Amino acid sequence: MEISFKDILQILKKNLIFIIIVSLIFSVCSFFVTKFFIKKSYTATVKLYVSADYKGSSGYEDLNSYNYASKLVATYIQMLDTNSFYSAVSEELNEKYTASQLKNMIKFTSVEDTEVFKADVVSESPTEAKNIADAVAVAAPDTITKLLKNNAQLKIVDEATVPKEPTSPNVTRNVLIALFAGIIISVIFAFIRDYFDVKIKYDDDMTTLCNIPVLAAIPDFEYFTNNLKSKSDDAANTKY
């Protein structure tokens, strides 16, 4: 089966209303499902700073101190991402959550190539997310002090606040994804339906399929009648 660009445009034009309706249905359904049925999650973030207490007498020594603190960030993250740390956080929260639950709720990430890293706490409750982040801010410096005996310290840069808006699900993103999915599915369905439609749609089809020239064709009388009526109405309303 050969299909030209003209055929593609004809199929899309013929099924335009169908494509629009299907896309809108997908978008509306996605909006309601995302808005009212998917559980919302909130993220509270606490930022921590690795401070190396080196009293350098030159810029070179200060640079070495900065590089040393930057490299410690990855080490500190690995030391905090342990069961012992999550158990300490659990104790701060009066064992409201287990260590394994907290491990799934807390994620440590470095902030670019700096001495700062952050702990993102995800919870279905904005208040609980903030409380867990506060517990992390208390337990993290104590855990580092117990494990390492050096001049580097862990300090709090930015305390957690109660998140006002949920971080997921993203309503706009889901609606757009559903919209594009509806367009793609409806277009595919339109082409499949056209492919299995064996009716002759254009005059050229008869020549192509049967190698028979078209000598005459029955016009669409309804189209011509409506067209003539429209022209007569326009002529009657024209003032000279």
First to last CA, the chain: 54
b/e sequence 80-100, b meaning 16+ C-beta within 10 Å? beeeebbbbbbebbeeebebe
Rounded to an integer, what distance in angstroms lies between the CA atom of residue 205 and that of residue 224?
23
Q: What local confidence, expressed as pLDDT, does residue 212 receive?
A: 65
119 forms beta bridges with 46, 108
Torsion sign (Cα): 230, 232, 236, 238? positive
Each domain of the chain, given as residue ranges in start order, spans 5-32+170-237, 42-158
The residue among 66 and 15 whose pLDDT is bigger is 15
pLDDT tens track for 66-109: 566 667 788 889 999 999 999 999 999 999 999 999 999 999 99
Give the number of other CB atoms < 10 A from CB of residue 215.
5
147-165 pLDDT per residue, tens: 876 556 788 999 999 999 9
User: What class has domain 42-158?
Assistant: alpha beta
Burial class (CB in 10 A: 0-12, 13-18, 19+), 226: exposed
The encoded tokens of residue 24 equal 């809108």
Both tokens assigned to 94: 């009066």
The pLDDT value given to residue 114:
81
DSSP string, 193-216: HHHT--S--SHHHHHHHH------
